[in-house]
């Protein structure tokens, strides 16, 4: 799984962002903020929108020293998001604050039987489904799916080796498959 081909303006985008050009910052926000917010929601961050803003503020503060293309920028953004989510969840664990998740309906469906089964689980259960995974498995799945990161990029973000990320992904998918099987049998 990888992202689509690079936009011809990607190099200009990164260069422009490094010198703080507003158009470049806006473009980065537009491209990645929704995925980051979804990633944070999947991680269980309650005020995902606010934390997303914090993530991008941190990204923009550090982007002057960033080197790479748009693919690397995406990995960089999700690295910051990952760390912010960890910090947020730690703070929330200390405070003991919890809030219900209000997921929106997803109009995008496919004809796949497994997908249909998963969709039948209901969007409200998506996060519950994710919570059946271990935190590491959840991180890997969210980064791979929502972050659209490669295995190598995911390994860098979570600070593990590629082989360990593969194993975590496999176990997460096995757990999801069990849920799908149960849903199909119902």
Partner 1 sequence: VTGYGDHEDVPSLRRDVPADDAVLSAAGTVLRALVQDAPPPPSAALARVIAAGLPSADGRGRVTAWAARTAGKVAGLGAAAKLLLAAGVAVAGVGGATTAVELSHPAHSPSHPRIDTPPRARPQPTPTPAAPAARVPRPTTSAVTSRQRSEDGERHPSGRPGTDDGRQVDGGRHGGDTSSSVSGDGGSSGDSVAGDTSSTDSGGSHHNGGGSSDGSGSGPDGGGSGGSGSGSERGDG
Which residue in 18, 66, 83, 131 binds partner 1 (CB under 8 A)? 18
Question: Scanning the structure block, which residue is given the tokens 């050009």?
Answer: 21
Enter the tokens of residue 109: 């469906």
Report whether 80 contacts 54 (CB < 8 A). Answer: no
CB of residue 90 vs partner 1: minimum separation in angstroms? 21
- Check residue 155 for interaction with partner 1 (CB under 8 A): no
Q: Nearer Cβ to partner 1, position 157 or 176? A: 176
- Check residue 7 for interaction with partner 1 (CB under 8 A): no
CB of residue 128 vs partner 1: minimum separation in angstroms? 12
- Check residue 35 for interaction with partner 1 (CB under 8 A): yes
Which residue in 3, 26, 134, 182 binds partner 1 (CB under 8 A)? 26
Q: C-alpha angle 162/126/170, rounded to 5°?
A: 25
Residues that bind partner 1 (CB under 8 A): 1, 11-12, 14-16, 18-22, 25-26, 29-30, 33-35, 37-39, 41-42, 48-50, 52-54, 56-57, 60-61, 63-64, 103-106, 108-110, 112, 114-115, 118-119, 121, 123, 126-127, 129-130, 141-142, 144-146, 161, 163-164, 166-167, 169-170, 173-174, 176-177, 180
């Amino acid at each position: 799984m990888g992202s689509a081909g690079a936009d011809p303006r990607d190099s200009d985008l990164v260069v422009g962002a490094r010198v703080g050009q507003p158009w470049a910052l806006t473009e980065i926000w537009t491209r990645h903020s929704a995925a980051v917010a979804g990633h944070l929601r999947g991680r269980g961050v309650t005020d995902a929108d606010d934390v997303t803003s914090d993530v991008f503020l941190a990204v923009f503060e550090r982007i002057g020293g960033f080197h790479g293309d748009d693919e690397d920028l995406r990995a960089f953004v999700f690295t910051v998001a990952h760390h912010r989510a960890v910090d947020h969840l730690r703070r929330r664990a200390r405070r003991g604050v919890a809030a219900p998740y209000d997921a929106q309906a997803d109009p995008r469906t496919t004809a796949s039987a497994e997908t249909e089964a998963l969709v039948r689980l209901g969007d409200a259960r998506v996060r519950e489904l994710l919570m059946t995974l271990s935190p590491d498995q959840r991180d890997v799945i969210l980064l791979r799916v929502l972050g659209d990161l490669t295995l190598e990029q995911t390994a860098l973000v979570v600070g593990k080796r590629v082989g360990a990320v593969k194993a975590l992904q496999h176990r997460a998918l096995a757990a999801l498959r069990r849920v799908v099987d149960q849903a199909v049998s119902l």
